Amino acid sequence: MLGVTGGIAAYKAAELTRLLVKAGIVVDVVMTDAATRFVTSTTFQALSGRPVLTDLWESGAANAMGHIAVSRGADAILVAPASADFLAKLAQGRADDLLTTLCLARECALLVAPAMNRQMWANKATQRNVAQLAKDGVTILGPDTGELACNENGEGRMLEPEALFDALVASRQPKLLAGKRVLLTVGPTFEAIDPVRGITNSSSGKMGFAMARAAAEAGAEVTVVAGPTSLPTPAGVARIDVTSAAQMAEVVLGRIDRADIFLAVAAVADYTPEAPSERKLKKSSAVQTLTLKPTVDILATVAARANAPYCVGFAAESHDVLGQAEDKRKRKKLPLLIANRAQDALGSDDNEVALLDDGGAHPLPRMEKLALARRLVSEIAQRLARK
């Protein structure tokens, strides 16, 4: 159920409705009277394909209990935008219109996306109401900081529809890693040859960030150590940016004692130039020889620790994928390794992998990387429970 209250951000709720319907989610839209002053109910009916509810006394139930019945079939209620007035009513338990009544009579999760002027958001009364709602188990999404409709800048801007969609989907994921602390490495590394050139690889970081998002959705406290990548950080994930394999190793080894699970997803360089030039190397007709030295094997170093966290490796191989990956798993003494063909995975939006553990190889079908990440988090949680 999507609740829409009065505010200029109501127009964004139309895009949110489209995203939800596109994902196969049935959406019942409930609008306050003030919301209809900004966007018409016809817009939401066209996007949702269902009647839009606005009146407490005409809520569509034959037994006159529509103000209760409408929310009974909902898996979640999301109110976006949620005005300061609506938050106050909700915190006080008031039910003077259809939306507040449905929220009070609900049997499902309630999420609210505040949207208002920055002074209204910062007001002690609003903050008191928000704190009470959080204490009551209501999920507060945002607000964001940015340009507001009043031509001011500050906190109070409603999260974008895509972010709200992601947050809603995340709220429905099983909390399989609740209370766990997860440390991940993500993306490529860049090993400098001179100030402008270096050795890197084609890893995009998509699989790593999908794993970070899935772990956060599962209730874990997640920290990502990211090599050079422009991908955005998933909601609820802490991020530390690094460039080289040495920098990545330093950050990981400095934080590993606080981790319960270590996911080595990054494509870390195996070698780095022995003596990088401090000046740009000039082109000439002479043959150039580059001497390389091995980098620190981050995963093997972590796995060899006396009190090592649960370590999961990722292996992208060009040939004999299962054989090469199993050799890597045994050599590094890992309980679990995820293997795939490098040609099929690096930079793509989907992936096909096999899980390797002491019980053998367990192939999974090709799927979109976020769906795969959620499956892998489930597999990891099951193994942790058995351990």
Active-site positions read 150
Q: Are strands 310-317 and 261-264 parallel, antiparallel or unpaired?
A: parallel
H-run or E-run covering 88: helix 84-92
Q: Is 189 helix (H, G, I), strand (E, B) or coil?
A: coil
C-alpha pair distances (Å), 53 with each of 98, 114, 135, 160: 8, 21, 29, 24
Output the six-digit token pair for 386: 């058995």
| CB contact at 8 A, 5 and 81 | yes
Q: Are strands 221-226 and 360-363 parallel, antiparallel or unpaired?
A: unpaired
Looking up tokens 């699970």 gives 261
* Share in percent of the chain as helix, strand, coil (round to 5): 35, 25, 40
DSSP class of 267: B
State the Cα–Cα distance between residues 44 and 35, nearest whole angstrom.
11
State the Cα–Cα distance between residues 301 and 297, nearest whole angstrom.
6
Output the six-digit token pair for 329: 């798993």
Which residues, listed in sequence order, are joined to residue 267 by a DSSP beta bridge? Answer: 188
Output the six-digit token pair for 51: 């009647």
